[in-house]
Amino acid sequence: MFEVSTDRYGLPTGRYEVEDGRVGRAETFSDVLGEHGVDYQTILRLADAARPEFEVTNLRAGRPYRVYVNPWLQQPQYLAYQIDARRYVVFDLQHPDRTHVATRPVTRQWATVAGTVEGSLYETVVDNGGHPLLALRLSEVFAWQIDFFRLRAGDSFRLVYEARAVEGDAVQPGDIVAAHVRHRGEDYYAFRFESGAGDAEYFNRAGQSLRRQLLKAPLQYSRISSGYTNRRYHPVLKEYRPHRGVDYAAPRGTPVRSVGEGVVQRAGYEGPNGNYVKIRHNGTYTSGYLHLSQISVASGDRVQQGETIGYVGSTGRSTGPHLDYRLWKHGSPVNPVTLELPPSQPVPLQHRDAFRATVWALLPRLDGESVFARASSGAGPRWNDRTAPAGPHLANR
Q: Is the pLDDT of residue 106 over 60?
A: yes
Q: In this structure, are 29 and 67 located in the same domain?
A: yes
- 294 in a domain, yes or no? yes
**pLDDT for res 230:** 54
Q: Is the pLDDT of residue 20 over 60?
A: yes
- 393 in a domain, yes or no? yes
The stretch 27-43 carries a mean pLDDT of 93
pLDDT single digits (tens) 320-347: 899 999 999 888 999 888 888 777 788 8
pLDDT single digits (tens) 164-213: 998 888 889 999 999 999 998 999 999 999 876 567 899 999 999 998 88
The Cα 396–Cα 188 span in angstroms is 7
**CATH number of the domain that 176 lies in?**
3.10.450.350
Report the domain count for the chain.
3
**pLDDT for res 130:** 94
**pLDDT for res 143:** 82
Q: Is the pLDDT of residue 371 over 80?
A: no
Q: In this structure, are 297 and 350 located in the same domain?
A: no
**pLDDT for res 379:** 33
**CATH number of the domain that 239 lies in?**
2.70.70.10
pLDDT single digits (tens) 82-92: 999 889 999 99
What does pTM read for this prediction? Answer: 0.65
Domain boundaries, position 375: 106-212+342-397
Q: Among 333, 364, 387, where does a domain finish?
A: 333
- Per the DSSP assignment, residues forming a β-bridge with 17 are 69
**pLDDT for res 372:** 33
The stretch 217-243 carries a mean pLDDT of 60
pLDDT single digits (tens) 47-76: 999 999 999 999 999 999 999 999 988 899
Q: Maximum distance among all alpha carbons in the chain?
A: 91
Q: Is the pLDDT of residue 225 over 60?
A: no
Q: In this structure, are 24 and 63 located in the same domain?
A: yes
- Per the DSSP assignment, residues forming a β-bridge with 114 are 158
Least confident interval from 35-44, 214-223, 266-275, 278-287:
214-223
- 5 in a domain, yes or no? no
- 12 in a domain, yes or no? no
Q: In this structure, are 166 and 84 located in the same domain?
A: no
The 3-class secondary structure across the chain, one letter per residue, is CCCCCECCCCCECCCCEEEEEECCCCCCHHHHHHCCCCCHHHHHHHHHHHCCCCCHHHCCCCCEEEEEEECCCCEEEEEEEECCCCEEEEEECCCHHHCEEEECCCEEEEEEEEEECCCCHHHHHHHCCCCHHHHHHHHHHCCCCCCHHHCCCCCEEEEEEEEEEECCEEECCCCEEEEEEEECCEEEEEEEEECCCCCEEEECCCCCECCECCCCCCCCCCEEEECCEEEEECCCCCCEEEECCEEEECCCCCEEECCCCEEEEEEEECHHHCEEEEEECCCCEEEEEEEEEEECCCCCCEECCCCEEEEEECCCCCCCCEEEEEEEECCEECCCCCCCCCECCCCCHHHHHHHHHHHHHHHHHHHCCCCCEECCCCCCEECCCCCCCCCCCCCCC
**pLDDT for res 13:** 77
Q: In this structure, are 45 and 72 located in the same domain?
A: yes
Name the more confident of 293 and 120: 293
Q: In this structure, are 172 and 189 located in the same domain?
A: yes
Q: In this structure, are 350 and 364 located in the same domain?
A: yes
The stretch 138-166 carries a mean pLDDT of 88
Q: Is the pLDDT of residue 148 over 50?
A: yes
Q: In this structure, are 96 and 110 located in the same domain?
A: no
Q: In this structure, are 111 and 190 located in the same domain?
A: yes
Residue 14: pLDDT band (50, 70, 90) is confident
Q: Is the pLDDT of residue 101 over 80?
A: yes
- Whether the Cβ atoms of residue 125 and residue 132 lie closer than 8 Å to each other: yes
Q: Among 103, 121, 143, where does a domain finish?
A: 103
Residue 395: pLDDT band (50, 70, 90) is very low
What average pLDDT does the chain have?
A: 84
- Per the DSSP assignment, residues forming a β-bridge with 168 are none
Q: In this structure, are 127 and 143 located in the same domain?
A: yes
- 244 in a domain, yes or no? yes
Q: Is the pLDDT of residue 149 over 80?
A: no
pLDDT single digits (tens) 236-247: 555 555 667 888
- 229 in a domain, yes or no? yes
Q: Is the pLDDT of residue 386 over 50?
A: no
Q: In this structure, are 267 and 247 located in the same domain?
A: yes
Length of the chain: 397
**pLDDT for res 369:** 46
Q: Is the pLDDT of residue 393 over 70?
A: no
Q: In this structure, are 295 and 381 located in the same domain?
A: no
- 6 in a domain, yes or no? no
Q: Is the pLDDT of residue 373 over 60?
A: no
The residues near 172 (Cβ < 8 Å, ≥ 6 apart) are 85, 131, 133, 164
**pLDDT for res 198:** 61
**pLDDT for res 197:** 59
- 377 in a domain, yes or no? yes
Q: Among 280, 304, 333, where does a domain finish?
A: 333
Residues of the chain with pLDDT > 90, as a percent, come to 57
